[in-house]
Amino acid sequence: MKGLSVFIAIMLVCSMAYGSIALTNKEFKNLDVIDAQLRTLYPQYEGFNGSQNDMTVMGLDDATAKTAIDAMNIDALKENDGKRKAMKRVRQKLKALGFDNGDLKTMGFTNDIDD
């Protein structure tokens, strides 16, 4: 019987959390940026599913998800995401001209997005 209670306790701790939140228009329009940031901050986060007013957050409870999203500076995240994507385009163009990763690193064209 003790083994069963330990098993149940482990299953409760390891079970996936789901939260249901409502997003503002700005948050909903920038869901891709929010998704990327949540994946960085919370390894257990799996993604979003649903509509703007009833969005299920898989991997986080609703309080954690809403607190994290409210604390995000979406404009700064969008700007940073745009810069990263622009760097990826530059790296791809330089690679098409024959430069390799070592050359690009020497020139200072480093990026954390895979080319």
Domain residue spans in the chain?
Answer: 16-72, 73-115
Q: Say yes or no to pLDDT of 3 above 90.
A: no
pLDDT of residue 12: 47
* Helix residue ranges per DSSP H, the chain: 2-14, 25-29, 31-41, 62-71, 74-96, 101-107
pLDDT of residue 78: 84
Q: For 40-99, write each residue's pLDDT tens digit.
A: 899 899 989 888 898 889 988 888 999 999 999 988 888 888 888 888 888 899 999 999
Residue with tokens 């891709």: 32
pLDDT of residue 113: 60
Distance (Å, rounded) from C-alpha 115 to C-alpha 92? 6
Q: How many CB atoms lie within 10 A of CB 88?
A: 16
> 36-40 long-range contacts, Cβ below 8 Å, gap at least 24?
36/77, 36/81, 37/72, 37/77, 38/65, 38/68, 38/69
